[in-house]
Structure 1
Amino acid sequence: MKNFDLVVGMKFKNAHEFREVLRDYSVREGYELTLKKNESYRVTTVCKKGCDWRIHASSVMGGPTFQIKTIKGEHNCAKSNTNKFANYKYLGKRVEKIVRDNPDINIDQLKNTITRKCEVELRKYNPGSKFILRKKEDFETPTFEKLYFSLNAMKNAFLEGCRPIIGLDGCFLKTIHGGQMFVAIGRDGNENMVPIALAVVQMENRENWTWFLRELLEDIGGLGDGR
């Protein structure tokens, strides 16, 4: 998502797009936000730390188009390098765009780019998180092979608050590059799904599932000496 300032009169195709822009603004600017009103026809957001910044957007003439109607106050709170909005979905989209636009990027460059753009560092502010990006070694041009991603908070949520059962699933990625996404999820006592880890691979096969499960079990402490 391109960086830009939020201004009164700015329009979005629907409420979902406006919320995504708010998420990007929150992470990029370093201010934690909270939704005061979150409805299909209006969204009002304020600063979580209590300063007087406030933004309100609503539908245009009852249609799907959303428009910023008011922005009041200013942020006078300290910026933060930790943000709940910088979750696996947000970072996953950023990683996909960066790799697609820069297929020759190496792992260190990718990590530095994510840190610079998102102003978050997974291992610094969420110790124990794992991010693996592999390329094919037998190609002259660096070519994506597979990716594994899991936040330490996601793993702890599973280990501390979920049943000892893991659900696995895979789906096709509907992009020009294709590929498959693997996910591992748990369920808590209220039947809520809790994401544990995800991976992106070129195809679904035994080798890729084995790799994903080995990384997952290593993360949650389920691998014994028989690896």
Structure 2
Amino acid sequence: MDAVKSWQPRTMVDSHTCSREHKLRLFNARWLSRKLQKTIRENPNVKGVDIRDKFSRKWNIAISKNMAYRARAHASDEVVGSFIKQYNRIYDYAHELLARNPGSTIKVKVDPVNGKPIFRRFYACLKACKDSFGSCRPIIGLDGAFLRGRHHGELLTVVGRDANDQMLPLAYAIIEVVNKDTWTWFLELLIEDLGGPDVCSGLTIMSDQQKGLRQAVQDVVPAIAQRFCVRHLYANFRKKFPRKNLKKLMWRAALATHPQQWENIMRSIKEVNEDAFRHLMSLPPRFWSRSRFTTTAKSDTLVNNMSEAFNSVLVNTRTKPIITMLEEIRLYMMKRWATNRTRAASFKSSICPKILSRLQKESLLTKHWVPSWSTHKLFEVRHVSQTGDNFVVDIDQYSCSCRKWSISGIPCAHALAVMKLLNIDAQQFIPACFTKSAYEEIYSSVIFPINGNNLWEVTEYLDVMPPSKRQMPRRPKKKRRLEQWEL
């Protein structure tokens, strides 16, 4: 053997007298994050206490709460992407999205600060959404929701209604804060994408009385019709007037379909509580009562549930980095378009299922109404027991003096009673916007997929920096705070 420095063990003492060490400096947040990546992919919302329990069971070590949260943050950055890095590539993402979906409107707005572009707003309205809205009724819902990620902001969404009276996402935007300026910027882009001010003059907007929205709508499209969600109006009304009889009367006033009925109910409210009457009269009934709704929208909805439903889908999405969040929204819409495109084949009638179900419910109420013929297809319909409940139905004009048919587009019980007397198929009087063919036309457009970020073209723009973080007090809430009457 050559003369080298070497050694050879001759005896091994395999008895340990030291105790097990539960806190090791070798276990740091970076090392732990690599072991957490699989867990984060399966459950992005894993709790810190679950992470500590996992490491305690697997390696029998104890880690602090802060280390567990740091490890989770590092693992999330590796899995879903870094928050800051994704802001750097926002222009590359916008270019790829526009290249794969030509005809779309993609806007990125930044503010130069010390020579560096700081992110401010992002707007997207895909070409498929524009084409789909052309076959829908002229009514949209607007809503806003807080972003719960590292850099705060708000997500604005626009939702239409398809032929089956289900939600149809149209556009979305990320802004710094909700106010008149941001709503004006958003509405100007939206109105242009939906056909311009002339086309949108007959549009109806449903909202939750968002801050600055009413004034922005009046500035952008003064002639547009606005509705406010009655559920949110009642939440404010209930704080001052919690009595149950007032709740019933307010909802009856909102559900009234003709002005005389609304006036009678308002008189009843005035008799019960004059302050409650003044509170409701301070808001014009055209915003919250069917008795003053326009007939162009062909919708009698009183709540903004479509927008709320879309936002509920995005609860977890709103906690993620900006490009990951935008991609999840686009992916959800792409899958929804593809699914609904094939769903039309299962429709058993030429009328969409939800509309047909509503027509059948109205048909069950015809037993309470007796039609009397006047001339041609003009009838007087009276209730079998209640005096004073008489309505005039003109089949040729598609109208009833109760206004329910004109507002919703679906024949009311009075009109259906006349149709049964004349042996006329009621489905002939359903507007084309509720038919199977309209549903197929809405979802015939395609939202095209895009490549991963490794294949994106690098644009010549400077890297965009994230907005300054506005730290709010206490831990941010991820669930909507329910009102007392919702519990």
TM-score w.r.t. length of structure 1: 0.48
Q: Which one has the bigger strand percentage?
A: 1
**Whose Rg is larger?**
2
TM-score w.r.t. length of structure 2: 0.24
Ranked by relative contact order (alpha carbons within 8 Å, sequence separation 6 or more), the top structure is 2
